[in-house]
Amino acid sequence: MQAARSLQSLHAATTFLHQLSIDPPLPVDAIMKKRLEALKKEIAQHNYQYYALDSPLISDSEYDQLFRELLEIEAQHPEWVTADSPSQRVGTAPVSGFATVAHQVPMRSLNNAFDDEELLAFDKRIREALVKANAWTAGQPLSYNAEYKFDGLAVSLRYEQGQLVQAVTRGDGYEGEDITSNIRTIAAIPLQLMLDKTPYPPEILEVRGEVLMNRADFEILNQQQIERQEKPFANPRNAAAGSLRQLDPRITAQRPLRFFAYGWGAIQLAQPEQGAIPFAPEDELQGLPYATQAEMLDWLLALGLPVNAHRQVLTGPQALIDYYQQTAEERAGLPFEIDGLVYKVNQLELQQVLGYVSRAPRYAIAHKFPAQEATTRLLAIEVQVGRTGAITPVARLEPVEVGGVTVTNATLHNEDEIRRKDVRVGDTVVVRRAGDVIPEVVAPILDLRPEHTKLFEFPVQCPICGSAIERPADEAIARCTGGLVCSAQRKQNIEHAVSRKALDIEGIGTKLIEQLVDRDRIKSLADLFGLQETELATYPRMGPKSAQNVVRAIQQAKQPTLARFIYALGIRHVGETTARHLAEHFKSIEALIQANEDELQTVTDVGPVVAASIAHFFAEAHNRQVLQALLEQGVSPQAPKAPASTQSQDSYFAQKTIVLTGSLEQMTRSEAKSRLEALGARVTGSVSSQTDLLIAGEKAGSKLTQAQKLGVEVIDETRFLALLKQT
């Protein structure tokens, strides 16, 4: 049988070479190898036709025949198997876990518009910002690239010299999980880019996109789950996410996953004459092959990446609203789930002017479809105590399916919301769920209200510790005053501190934390680092091996980054982004503790409320005691890595706000930015009245004109290099 297959493969290869009219005849191995290379290209082209263009050229059976021929040749010559072969999608051996990878360029989230009014406000806001920056003419409508907002899982794919080398989940936007082995199993994702299809082949390309599952494929998968007596997935998004998080890539390979590209991260074009020029969205547009969002998406498509065909360039907000309404009508007939549309300013130069705010770009917005709703009965109202003492009322509901998820609990937000909505136990209520947002009770259906219902009385004492509940006059949230006396706050604080985005201590889950707090074994985060294997082994469902693993994980967490450590403290109003900005600014926990409110407000995104919260936290004696105890336990937060050069306060650039524009000959703009920041400068992407200096390279554009209008100091590259030498 094997000999017969070999003869078939050789016959196919010989026929192939005969068609190429190669003379003189080649040795058998050479014929087979050329046939293998041709098959790889042919199968890749058919994948492109099927997944990217939705226009297959051959039948499934013909495709299968080509694939079988490729497998037969590779079976005979395993030394010819390469990473870009279609055969390498079957999945490798299981892994023990996913490594964490930092994104070279952050994967930012999007702000949302939930109605036409919010969309119009967005359009008005960015047009005004562009006019103010002298980048746009007042009264002129903007053009946007409009595309679907897929309901899947965001990933970043990194290609080097056209070959897929890494795939990472979005994670927190700055770090994600390495899922390369799983991504390689998805036929819609090319293992090798079609570099010969574009005049601008990239040496490095990070592609941002969405992994999802078609509705029909989802139904088939769930039927298979039921037949295997396994739990079915709630919806296609959960199925896609669950498939990508399989530790065994062979399982992922069996799942019908698809992919659409919608953006990019780092790009480095192959430009032999000028050298490769790197690009990141925080920089200017140098190095990008095209000037608009739409053209960049066409470029990704030309490289062989699937880009959804339902995208349009539209001018003015009314065109966006019309497209939204049209898509809402067509949504049910689409093969996949979408939860809205995404609009991005089409001109990349204008995107650069608008820039970013916190974790989201100013130049883009997601226009979400209305949240999915259902009705059910409200069985009870209870309150939960959060890690900051916040008292949150929670509705206990008769189970109801909303958007593919069974909902039994929903938030009622706060006391004022309960009063405003007049929600009562026994009511039939409308429950809303939007994407991954916590379900909420929208309103009661008054016509169905039973007799003798009563208004909910908000408690005046904490249900956990009995401490008084207080509500500041200027806040909507009531809080337990128990602090560390309240075990609920301790539990929530510890659970927050050990979470993946904070200290990332594996093995310490909710159940173990509850036992440790209930036994009064840990009163603060510092007590966690004093746990011993022998005592942990006595806890239910632990045992010596589990105890050993937990203690090892605790020890490994003793040198967190300063940003993670600050976030782990659970300071009110301090999230991941703010914690990172604080770490970058103060460099040590000691410096942060000593900072006053005025100093805190010099940090990016820290306003009066956040500054007051941070100062109050470190002013509390018991918090300082916990910090001291942590240090005594050997916990040592690691400061952010210093730049290659030491900052010099004597530098000409120190304390100046500087903008780079045009191309530099002696270094890349990324290198120039790093040098400037190391010397104490603040490098921004747009010129304003706050700009102190513009460094203009070759082909400087509108920013140079704007700087000249504003009277900003302008120097060229020669002067820039001379000043660098003086420092």
Which active-site residues does the annotation give? 149
Cα-based distances in Å from 389 to 447, 461, 476: 36, 12, 13
Angle, in degrees to the nearest 10, between helices 487-497 and 510-518? 140
Question: From CA 172, how far away is CA 61, in angstroms rounded?
Answer: 42
Cα separations in angstroms, 320 against 123, 137, 238: 10, 20, 29
To which residue do tokens 């210093």 refer? 642
Contacting residues for 146 by C-beta, under 8 A, at least 6 apart: 311, 312, 313, 314, 320, 323, 341, 342, 343
Bridge partners of 211, per DSSP, are 153, 259
Asked whether 672 and 681 are in contact (CB, 8 A), the reply is no
Please give the C-alpha separations between residue 334 and each of 339, 403, 657, in angstroms, as whole numbers: 12, 16, 48
Task: Give yes or no for a contact between 367 and 373, defined as CB atoms under 8 angstroms apart.
Answer: no
Cα radius of gyration rounded to whole Å, the chain: 29
Pairing of strands 312-315, 657-661: unpaired
Q: How far apart are CA 156 and CA 159, in angstroms?
A: 10
Ordered DSSP codes for 16-39: HHHHHT-SSPPPHHHHHHHHHHHH
Distance CA 439, CA 214 (A): 25
Strand (E) or helix (H) holding 7: helix 2-20
Tokens describing residue 75:
């079976």
**Amino acid identity, position 284:** E
| CA gap 196, 453 in Å, rounded | 72
Distance CA 196, CA 102 (A): 30
SS (H, E, C) 535-600: HHCCCCCCHHHHHHHHHHHHHHCCCCEHHHHHHHCCCCCCCHHHHHHHHHHHCCHHHHHHCCHHHH
d(CA 169, CA 180): 10
Continuous segment of H or E residues that includes residue 302: helix 293-302
Examine residue 24 and say whether the peptide bond preceding it is cis (omega within 30 degrees of 0).
yes
Distance from C-alpha of 631 to C-alpha of 633, rounded to nearest angstrom: 5
Phi and psi of 497, rounded to 5°?
A: -65, -35
Q: Which distant-in-sequence residues (6+ apart) come within 8 Å of 428 by Cβ? A: 375, 376, 377, 378, 444, 445, 448, 449
Distances (CA, A) of 82 to 40, 70, 358, 397, 475: 10, 12, 42, 55, 62
What is d(CA 402, CA 379) in angstroms, rounded to the nearest whole number? 17
Q: How far apart are CA 311 and CA 149, in angstroms?
A: 11
Residues 6+ apart with CB under 8 A from 630: 525, 526, 529
Helix, strand, or coil here: 369? Answer: coil
DSSP codes, 462-490:
-TTT-PBEE--TT-S--EES-GGG-HHHH
